[in-house]
Amino acid sequence: MQESEERGGSTARPEEVAKFDRLAARWWDPAGPMAPLHRMNPVRVGWIAERLARAHGRDPAALEALRGLAVLDVGCGAGLAAEALARRGAAVTGLDAAGEALEAARAHAAAAGLAVDYRAGAPEDLLPAAAGRFDAVLALEVIEHVTERAAFLRHLAQLARPDGGLVILSTLNRTARSFLVAKLGAEYLLRWLPPGTHDWRLFVTPAELGAALRAAGLRVTDLAGMRYDPLGGRFRIARDVGVNYILAAVR
């Protein structure tokens, strides 16, 4: 307990861990409770891969453009983003406090023949041993589910390389539109997500997240919206950050 307090407190919320453990068995079902993440995953992984490849002077369109780059996916769940990045050549470590979700991740990666290093825990559990180890640290659809946000972001920063390591987060903006679209619409009208998946009060604005990242010693370099296209049935990168957005910061 003392060690955790010295590092800023545990960042995992037990009720959130239990919530996502209950969804583990259907995580990889594209028509199941994680359907929005399946629709979002190609655009967010493409956005991440492009920035990470260019940061290392590589062609983002090249096969396995991320080969040899160390990526930590915090809150990886059953591995949607982790597997997609591993297929692009990255050496991916997936981290999550939800044990059932991790078991689903390990089984799916093994069936796909992918080597992803899945570990149980929160980012503070990797410190100090893995400090400065990763070329990119990701927290996708996670920040709105953690406690001790300042500590969580500080841990992410500490895990990124000190000479240009990237920290990339995607989350939901706290706006009236996000309440209507991401909370009422997705959970209660369209039933894309189980009711109660999100607490709108815990959504974070880009300004709030940017300030918190700066306090953690990071500099925001890129911000984009992720907008759902109902005709195409997928998300696209957009200027509009009123609901979903993704940002990159550098250490």
Phi, psi (degrees; rounded to nearest 5) at 123: -60, -35
- The tokens of 5 are what? 């307090």
Q: How many CA atoms lie within 13 A of 228 on its CB side?
A: 17
Cα-based angle 101, 104, 107 (whole degrees, multiple of 5)? 150
Contact 84, 45 (CB under 8 A): yes
The CB density around residue 162, as the number of other CB atoms within 10 Å, is: 11
Instruction: Tell whether residue 44 is among the known ligand binding residues.
Output: yes
Ligand-binding site membership of 75 (annotated): yes
The reply, when asked if residue 113 is annotated as ligand binding, is no
232 is an annotated ligand-binding site residue: no
Cβ neighbours around 142 below 10 Å, total: 22
Binding residues for S-adenosyl-L-methionine: 44, 75, 96, 140
